[in-house]
Structure 1
Amino acid sequence: MTTRILVPFDGSPPSERALEFATTEWPEAHVTLLYVINPSDAGFTPSSGVPTGAEKWFEGAKADAEELLAEATTGFDDAVDTMIEVGRPAQTIGEVADEAGYTHVVIGSHGRQGVQRILLGSVTEAVVRSAPVPVTVVR
């Protein structure tokens, strides 16, 4: 069975370290970088409806994600592929891992602690708690 690794990627140093770790630790694995476009970044919530300019915002967010992922995969040839999804990041990461048959998630951690972690929330923590597959957290 081929090892299939999902690496949530947002261009931050922790996500870059997660990509490096995944490709070094499992050099023969199928690695996918996942960028999740979060609609709440544009002010969209189910109760607020679609905000004015949402389509333009989404197209810009998608173009930014494509550029970021293209830069991240430079030098990996076909060893790393990419995926862009829309949704709440932690939930979407778990759903993609489950539905697409990934065997492992490797995710970066910003290393926040205490009150800052509580106030800001933690995608990494939510993924660790709810992922349907093993998760490795890289600092």
Structure 2
Amino acid sequence: MANRILVAYDESPQATAALRHALSTYEDADIHVLHVNDPREWSSGDGIDGFFYSEAAFERSQESAESLLEEAAETAREYDTTVTTASEIGMVAESIVEYAEDNDVDLIVLGSHGRRGISRFLLGSVAERVTRRAPGSVTVIREADDEESSDEE
């Protein structure tokens, strides 16, 4: 049985489905909700090392992360529980795996795909990279037309 679970969380319906799955399936577990803020999403390709970091864009992304994590906490309250929330800055898959290693996570639960748009395709499949590198079990949640399904690896 999983005692400590990490849910990767972003603005996608799949991430919400993953959180709801973890909350409903692992009622007695210590659930951590992690949002990773990838600098490639709030930078342009003009500065040092090919990236220019806008202070204003960074601040907006941090505010967005705080809002998303509050949404996750509100969702947990619907299940009459609390979650530990965290926000990291870095490459998404690598940050998820590192957080899992650093916090003795037994199970990672994440959506089959997250952020929408072209960046998702350019960055590749986070779920696939996490599944390959995770220190333990991974449950990938797919949401299809309001119907939740999962693939466990």
TM-score range, shorter chain: 0.7 to 0.9
Unaligned runs of 5+ in 2: 115-119, 143-153
Q: Deviations over 1:19-68 (max 9, x none)?
A: 0111111001111111000011113787225x252x22211101011011
Q: Deviations over 1:103-138 (max 9, x none)?
A: 110011139xxxxx9766100000001111110111
Q: Find the residue that maps to 2:49 and give its secondary structure.
A: coil
Q: CA deviation at 1:102?
A: 1.1
Q: How many residues align?
A: 132
Q: Which stretch shows the higher mean deviation, 38-47 or 4-13? A: 38-47
The one-letter code matched in structure 2 to 1:80 is: V
Q: CA deviation at 1:101?
A: 1.3
RMSD value, Cα:
2.5
2:109 to 89, 101, 106: 106
What corresponds to 2:61 in structure 1?
61
Whether 1:94 and 2:79 are equivalent positions in the alignment is no
1:129 corresponding residue in structure 2: 132
Residue matched to 1:29: 29
Shift of the alpha carbon at 1:72?
Answer: 2.4
Ranges of 4+ aligned residues in structure 1 off by more than 3 Å: 117-120
> What TM-score results when the alignment is normalised by the length of structure 1?
0.84
Identity of aligned residues (%): 39
The answer to which structure has the higher strand fraction is: 2
Distance in 2 (alpha carbons) for counterparts of 1:46 and 1:26: 44
For residues 52 and 65 of structure 1, do their structure 2 counterparts lie closer, same or farther at Cα, with a shift above 3 Å needed? closer
Matched, 1:71 2:71: yes
List gaps (5 residues or longer) in structure 1.
112-116
Deviation at 1:4, TM superposition (A): 0.7
Larger relative contact order (Cα-Cα within 8 Å, sequence gap ≥ 6): 1
Normalising by structure 2, we get a TM-score of: 0.76
